Amino acid sequence: MIASLVGLLALAAPFPGQPAPEFLEPTAAGINVNLDVYKGKTVVLEWTNHGCPFVQKHYGADNMQKLQKRANAEGIVWLQVISSAPGKQGYVSPEEANTLNDERGAVVSHVLLDEDGSMGQAYAAKTTPHMFIIDPEGIVRYNGAIDTIPTADPADIPNAQNYVMTALEQLKAGQDVVTSVSRPYGCSVKYADS
Amino acid sequence: MIRLIFACLALFAAAHAQSGEAVRTGHAESRLIAEKTAAVPGETLWVALAQELEEGWHVYWKNPGDSGLPLVLGWTLPRGFGAGEIGYPLPHRLPLGPLTNFGHEGSPTFLVPITVPADAEPGRTAQFDVFAEWLICLDVCIPEAAQLSLSLPIASSADDVPGNADRIRAARSALPRDLGLDAQFAEKDGSLVLQVNGAPQGEAYFYPNAQGMTEPTPPQDAVRTDEALYLKLTPGIEYQMEPPSEIAGLLVLEADGQEIGVEVSAARTDAIALPAAFGSAQTSSTGAPNIILVFAFALLGGVILNAMPCVFPIVFLKAASVAKLAGADRKTVQTDAFAYIAGVLVTFAAMAGLLLILRGAGAQLGWGFHLQSPIVVGLSALVVFLIGLNLAGLFEIGTSVQGVGSGLASKGGATGSFFTGLLAVLVAAPCIGPFLGVPIGYALTAPAFAAIAVFLALGLGLALPYLALAAVPGLAAALPKPGAWMIRLKQLFSFAMFGTVVWLSWVVSIQTGSQGVLILGAAFVIAAFAAWLFGLAQEKGGAPLLRGGALAALIAAAVPMATLTSAAAPVTSLSITKEAYDETRLAALQAQGTPVFIDFTAAWCVTCQYNKRVVLDTAEIQEAFAETGTVFMVADLTNPDPVITAAIERQGRSGVPLYLYYNGTGEPEILPQILTQERVKATLEQRG
C-alpha cells in the first residue's frame, strides 16, 4: 500500500517544462515559505545533507558556495532543502543549519527543513546534492546533478562541467536549457523508513 | 590526489601470485583473484574483484537505481593485455524509504576477462594493477577506493587455482545469459509495457541498463500468457525526457530460490496486445498450423512408446490380462480395453494438469521430472517388485485367474485394467522416445488446451492397440484360447518386472549412493514378506490377522523410502575428460573454434544410458574425441537444474537425451536421440 503510494508520488516527479510543485515548509530562520512568494524570480533548489561525502566534496572545495554567490549576485533565490528525517544522517535543528552555513560560508536565501520528506517526495529528490531550477513563471527548467563527474573526489571538480551554472547562463541569455535533465548523483536522501 | 597516494602505497605492496593481497577499507575487504595459475598467451584469463562487505552494507550494480554509483576500475596492464567490461553479479533491489537502489550485499564477485596477447613471452611475469573506486552504503554512504594488484607468470598452460576457480566459475555461471529472446515495449496509459516472448519461468523483475530509464520503486506488475511475459514498468525521468527507441536491460527470474538473469533488448512498438489480466484485449492466437502435425507426432509417439524398454514389462502385464480375456465374450473385452484406455488417458491428463500447474508456478521441469526424486524412484521400484511377485503367483489381486470368463469377473477386471493403464504411463515417463521430444517441447510452451490435447494424443497412442482390440470384433476372437499355459506365461512375465526392478535400483544407487540401496533392499525383503502373508490370507480365506500383518509389513517397507535423498553424483573414471556443463566455457571454446559435444543426460533416462554404454563410452568413440580435440561436456539432469533445463528448452526440447555438437563455427547440430558409433564418429570427424 505504502509502496504503491510512493509509486504514485514518484510518477509525479516534475520534469522540465512542467509546473514546479507547490510547497510550504518551515525554514531555519523560523518562518514558513512557499513557492508562490517567489513568483517573478528564478529559484534554485539544492537538496543537501552535511554528512554526505558528495555534499562535502562540493562545499569542501568551495564549489557550491561560488555558485550560490553568483546566483545571489544575479537576484536568484537559493533554497537549501534538508529532507533527512529525525535521527537520520543530515537531520539538523534550525540553529545547527544556520551554524553549518555560517561555517561553510554558504550564501542561501533559506534553509527549508523538510523533516517529513513531503517536499522531497513531491520533487522526487533522490540524492544529495540534487538540483532544480525553477523559472520566474514557476516552470521547472532543470532537474538533476550538480555537474558531469559523479564522484566524491574534489579533484574532479575542475574537470567537470557544472550543469547548474550552464543552465543559469542559458536562462539568463533567454535561451532554452540544453541539458535540462541529468542523473543526480550522491548519497540517497535520508527519508523516514516507510 | 587520493589516487596519487594509493599509487605510492602500491609501490610498497609486495607482489603476490594468483590472489592479490586483500585490502581493508572502512567497510569492505577487497582483493584481486585469478581463476588460473598462469596467463596463457592467446587466451582469456578471468580475474575478479572479490569483495567481502560489512554486514548490512551494499555496493552498486551498473545501474545503481535512485542513487549510488557503480564500481569504477582503472587498470594498468602489461603491454598488449586488455581488460574487458565488468561482469556484475545479479543485482537486488535495496529499498531505502521511498527510494530503491540496485546493488549487491555480502560477498560480490566482479568479473573481468583479461585478454592475454598471443605474443606474451612465457617465463615472464605479468603484473595486473587496478585502482578500484566504489560507493558503499548502509543508509549513509562512503566512497571507498583501493589499489589492488596481482601478478601471474606467463606460461603455455595453467591450472585452476583452488578456491578462486570455484568462486570465479560460480560468478560466471550467474552472469546474464543472452537467450536471443524477442522483446518489445509500448507506452500504455502513462506506463510502459514490456513484452518478452519465451521468457523462462519465475518471478520477474526488469533492471534497465541505463539509470533513470524506469523508476526503481514502483512494483512491476507481471502477467504471463503461454507465449510471453508482460511487465508493467514506470517510466523514469530519462525516459520521459527522451523516449528511446530501444530499452536494454536485465530480466531477473527467481524460481525455487534460484535466480537467473537474461539479457533483454526491447524495441519500441506502437501497441502491444495485452493479456486480459492487464485489463485489455486478449492476445492473438498461436502457431495453429503446427498443431495438427504435433498432434499426429504425439499419437505416433504414443504408439511407439509401447515398444520402449521400460514400458515393455507393462505391455507384458497388459498382454497377460488380454490373455486372461482370450475366449471371453466381446463385451468383457470391450469393458476391459476401455478401462485400460481410461487409465492411460486419466494419467496423461493428470500429468498435463500437473505440468501446467508447475509451469505456472515457475518450476523448471522436463518429461520424466517425477522420476527425479529418489523417493519416487524407490517407490516405483517397490511397486514394480510387488507386481513381479503377483505375476509370479505369490498372491492375487482382485479376481483370481480361475474367475476368467465368468460374468462376475468383468468388474474386478475393469478396475485392474484401469490401474494397469495408470501404471503403464508412470513407468513410461522416463523413456523419451525419439518422437516425444518435439510434442512435449511444444506442450511446454503451448497454450493450456493445446498442451492437454498433446498429452491426451500421447495417451491415445499408447492405448491404441487395445482400442483396436475393443473396436474390431475379429481381433479378440483371434486371441488364443485360455488354458494352463496362461499361468506359465504370467510367471514368465514376472522376470521382465524383476529386470525393471534391477534398473530402478541402479538409478536409486546413482542418486543416493550405497545407503539408499540398503534401504531399498530391506524394503524389498519386507514387501516380499507382506506379499507372502497376503497370499497366505487369500489361501485361507478371510484371515484378518494375516491381512493386517501384510498391511503392516507393507507400510514398514514403504515408509523408510522417505529418507532417500539425492547425493552428489559420483565421479567415474574415463579415458577422456568429461567437463561439467558450463555456458561461459562453452562460449569461450566456440570463440576459439574448438568443437564441443554436449551430452544432456540423466541417470533415470534409459535411452541415455544405452547411448552411453553402447556408443559414447566405447574406446573407439573416446579415441575419436581425443583425436579431433572435441571437448565432451556433460549436462546432467539427474537432479533438477534450471540452467540445463533452460538450455534444453532453447533447442525446442523438453527432456533428455539431447546431443548437441558445436563444430566451432556456429549453430549446434542436434544428433538423433538414439546414437550409433558411425553417426557420432562421422559427426566428430566432419571437421577434417
Give this complex's ipTM: 0.72
- B241 C-beta neighbours (distance < 10 Å), count: 18
CB contact under 8 A, A11 and B218: yes
CB contact under 8 A, B234 and A180: no
To the nearest whole percent, how much of chain B has pLDDT over 90? 22
**What pLDDT band is residue B627 in, cutting at 50, 70 and 90?**
confident
CB contact under 8 A, A89 and B139: yes
How far is Cα B140 from Cα B102, in angstroms, rounded to an integer? 16
**What pLDDT band is residue B80 in, cutting at 50, 70 and 90?**
very high
Using a CB–CB cutoff of 8 Å, tell me whether A138 touches chain B. Answer: no
B519 with B560: CB under 8 angstroms? yes
Whether residue B364 has pLDDT greater than 50: no
CB contact under 8 A, A7 and B99: no
B60: left (phi over 0), alpha (psi -120 to 50) or beta: beta
State the best of B59, B140, B233 to mutate against chain A, taking most chain A CBs within 10 Å. Answer: B140
CA angle B442/B444/B450 to nearest 5° reads: 65
Using a CB–CB cutoff of 8 Å, tell me whether B289 touches chain A. Answer: no
CB contact under 8 A, B217 and A191: no
Cα separations in angstroms, B498 against B90, B313, B381? 49, 9, 9
Residue B39's identity, in one-letter code, is A
- A70 C-beta neighbours (distance < 10 Å), count: 16
What is the maximal distance between C-alpha atoms in chain B?
A: 101
CB contact under 8 A, A155 and B1: yes
* Closest Cα in chain B to A128: B67
DSSP E strands: which ranges in B90-244?
A: 92-96, 99-105, 109-115, 125-137, 141-153, 183-188, 191-197, 203-208, 222-224, 228-233
State the best of A126, A132, A143, A193 to mutate against chain B, taking most chain B CBs within 10 Å. Answer: A126
- Alpha carbons within 13 angstroms on the beta-carbon side of residue A156 total 16
Q: What does the pLDDT look like over B351-360, one tens digit per residue?
A: 777 767 765 5
Write the DSSP string, B447-513.
Answer: -HHHHHHHHHHHHHHHHHHHHHHHH-HHHHHHSPPPSTHHHHHHHHHHHHHHHHHHHHHHHHHHHH-
Using a CB–CB cutoff of 8 Å, tell me whether A181 touches chain B. Answer: yes
Question: What are the chain A neighbours of B98 within 8 Å (beta carbons)?
Answer: 6, 9-10, 117, 121, 191, 194
Whether residue B62 has pLDDT greater than 60: yes
- Out of A11-15, A177-181, B58-62, B252-256, pick the least confident: A11-15
Q: Which residue has the cell 559414447?
A: B616
Question: What are the chain B neighbours of A4 within 8 Å (beta carbons)?
Answer: 218-219
Higher-confidence residue: B337 or B345? B345
Of A150, A153, A191, the CB nearest to B97: A191
Interhelix angle for B485-512 vs B312-325, to 10°?
Answer: 160
Using a CB–CB cutoff of 8 Å, tell me whether B484 touches chain A. Answer: no
Cα separations in angstroms, A144 against A57, A133, B604? 17, 9, 59
Cell numbers representing residue B336 in the block: 476391459
* Closest Cα in chain A to B66: A126
Residue B671's identity, in one-letter code, is L
**What pLDDT band is residue B415 in, cutting at 50, 70 and 90?**
confident
Of B101, B142, B241, the CB nearest to A53: B142
Q: What is the pLDDT of residue B290?
A: 57
State the best of A183, A190, A193 to mutate against chain B, taking most chain B CBs within 10 Å. Answer: A183
DSSP state of A27: B
**What pLDDT band is residue B476 in, cutting at 50, 70 and 90?**
low
Helix (H) or strand (E) run with residue B254 in it: strand B246-255
Q: What does the pLDDT look like over B200-247, one tens digit per residue?
A: 888 899 999 988 889 898 889 888 887 788 999 998 888 877 889 999
Using a CB–CB cutoff of 8 Å, tell me whether A97 touches chain B. Answer: no
Of A143, A180, A187, the CB nearest to B67: A187
Question: What are the chain A neighbours of B140 within 8 Å (beta carbons)?
Answer: 51-52, 89, 187, 190
Q: What does the pLDDT look like over A84-103, one tens digit per residue?
A: 999 999 999 999 999 999 99
Using a CB–CB cutoff of 8 Å, tell me whether A191 touches chain B. Answer: yes
Higher-confidence residue: B89 or B465? B89
Question: What are the chain A neighbours of B217 within 8 Å (beta carbons)?
Answer: 3, 6-7, 10
State the best of B93, B237, B238 to mutate against chain A, taking most chain A CBs within 10 Å. Answer: B237
Alpha helices in B196-329 (DSSP H): 237-241, 291-305, 312-325
Residue B259's identity, in one-letter code, is E
Question: What are the chain A neighbours of B3 within 8 Å (beta carbons)?
Answer: 155
Nearest CA-CA distance, residue B94 and chain A, Å: 12
Question: What are the chain B neighbours of A11 within 8 Å (beta carbons)?
Answer: 190, 215, 218, 234
Using a CB–CB cutoff of 8 Å, tell me whether B408 touches chain A. Answer: no
Helix (H) or strand (E) run with residue B621 in it: helix B619-628
Question: What are the chain A neighbours of B240 within 8 Å (beta carbons)?
Answer: 15
DSSP state of A75: T
Cα separations in angstroms, B164 against B50, B167, B271, B571, B596? 9, 5, 48, 22, 25
- Out of A136-145, B27-36, B162-171, B415-424, pick the least confident: B415-424
